[in-house]
Structure 1
């Protein structure tokens, strides 16, 4: 339970940190807004064409009588859209981080400085960092797609597919969402993808406490844009918790002024 509280606490602390530093909040909205516009168009297209796609892949149901044909295709259309929404929630963070790479790196460094007085640096050139981030994001998305296919298939199981599967889906999305966000701070600490995943596995409760509420919030389009800078800040705080970053050194108290020696002069 304590790990769960750590994850939730870092999520709220990150939002509070960014809203207390208006400059970083303002600069962080643009990458998320650009990504949101692109994704909104893609989801609109999916919603518009999902029924045609389902009809195309289920020609065997053309001769079915009512209501079975409509029930099958309506269910499949809803699942296709939910699968697309699931992927959008996961990939939104990766794409936004790539679009806003320089800003989010600077934001993460500033949080580290504010909390501990120093900001670790990877030492890699900017383009190399961008390539590593893109490559790792693709690897994560492949994993997410595999989970998504399994969950999509499990969605056809009566009762379980409508109750348990969505819960598992949000846990999966929250877990990998947290990985994408903490990667900004952990890459600066020299951790490769394999090491980052091992670190997260050792703190599953904290990862879910951070990622699941955030993935639920990201379902609301404009909320995702406004929460993204704070999510990066909170993930940096979480990375500090995982790696045992030192607490800021207390400000030393001023030394008392030396007392003047008593005078030995006699009047």
Structure 2
């Protein structure tokens, strides 16, 4: 009987998730040609979304003024605080939505490129699955779902940003964790689905490794916020998510987990 390894502290697991993204960046040195393919769709989508964010910033003052007419009769200090909070909430929500939309749209537009990166990383690590079982319509459905969840996260972060004094910081923290989780969810789907894991099984696996998954997702999101960082980081995120997925599966095998609700489709059917 296999003895389960000792539990890992959540903070240590969080940093291991960051390390998984670092291992993804390492594939720039191992598979430079494949990784470079991922720059093309990332650059196209990134430029479009950046243009949208810049446009919002240019007109943000006018937008805030238009929606805060109720504060015209307030004192300058009170009106300024409210308008700053609303402006920060709008901009923060837009950034959250842009980050999530960037991932969804880039994976959709560049699916053939990222399919090659995923396959190359799997082959480099060994024991690659036969195929990813990812089709065009499935990619569209996943992208729409991710954008809708990102919109919900943006709304939540924006509302928290309205809280006086602490709202801006608290909203940024909540946005980072919500967005990070969504990014990790989407990016790990291909490697897990290729091994027969359906949505419910993938969700259970990620929840059982929250800290590590969050570490990977938050680190990826922070890279996306750096100017041009999203373009370079996207291929690394695809590679890193493959590493993360395999690591989670290996850890599950070592612990001898027998939860059938989190077992691959084939295994649940007795295959």
Structure 1 residues 223 and 54: CA distance shift in structure 2, 3 A: same
Number of the residue aligned with 1:254: none
Distance in 1, matches of 2:57 and 2:164, equals 24
Equivalent residue for 1:103, pick from 106, 113, 137 = 113
Equivalent residue for 1:167, pick from 151, 173, 178 = 173
TM-score, normalising length: structure 1: 0.82
Deviations 1:42-74 (A, max 9, x none): 111111222222222222223334343333223
Query: Does 2:205 match 1:199?
Result: yes
Q: Residues 59-138 of structure 1 correspond to what in structure 2 (within 5 A)?
A: 59-123=69-133, 129-138=135-144
Q: Does the CA contact (< 8 Å) of 2:24 and 2:237 recur in 1?
A: yes
Distance in 2, matches of 1:199 and 1:159, equals 37
Number of the residue aligned with 1:180: 186
User: What stretches of structure 1 move > 4 A for 4+ residues in a row?
Assistant: none
Number of the residue aligned with 2:3: none
| Greater Rg over alpha carbons, structure | 1
Residues matched between the structures, number: 243
Distance in 1, matches of 2:132 and 2:109, equals 19
Structure 1 residues 161 and 105: CA distance shift in structure 2, 3 A: same
Distance in 2, matches of 1:137 and 1:196, equals 17
Number of the residue aligned with 2:24: 14
Q: Does the CA contact (< 8 Å) of 1:11 and 1:235 recur in 2?
A: yes
Structure 1 residues 65 and 160: CA distance shift in structure 2, 3 A: closer
The unaligned stretches of length 5 or more in structure 1 are 247-267
Query: Does 2:248 match 1:238?
Result: no
Query: Does 2:163 match 1:157?
Result: yes
Could you tell which deviates more after superposition, 28-37 or 143-152?
143-152
Distance in 2, matches of 1:190 and 1:32, equals 28
Query: Does 2:236 match 1:226?
Result: no
Q: Does the CA contact (< 8 Å) of 1:104 and 1:184 recur in 2?
A: no
- Tell me how far 1:90 sits from its aligned partner: 1.7
- Tell me how far 1:228 sits from its aligned partner: 1.0
Structure 1 residues 24 and 122: CA distance shift in structure 2, 3 A: closer
Distance in 2, matches of 1:107 and 1:122, equals 12
Number of the residue aligned with 2:38: 28
- Tell me how far 1:5 sits from its aligned partner: 4.2
- Tell me how far 1:225 sits from its aligned partner: 0.5
Query: Does 2:154 match 1:148?
Result: yes
The unaligned stretches of length 5 or more in structure 2 are 1-8, 253-271
Structure 1 residues 158 and 61: CA distance shift in structure 2, 3 A: closer
- Tell me how far 1:240 sits from its aligned partner: 0.9
- Tell me how far 1:80 sits from its aligned partner: 0.9
Q: Does the CA contact (< 8 Å) of 2:85 and 2:163 recur in 1?
A: no
Structure 1 residues 199 and 147: CA distance shift in structure 2, 3 A: same
Query: Does 2:61 match 1:51?
Result: yes
Structure 1 residues 120 and 5: CA distance shift in structure 2, 3 A: farther
Number of the residue aligned with 1:3: 13
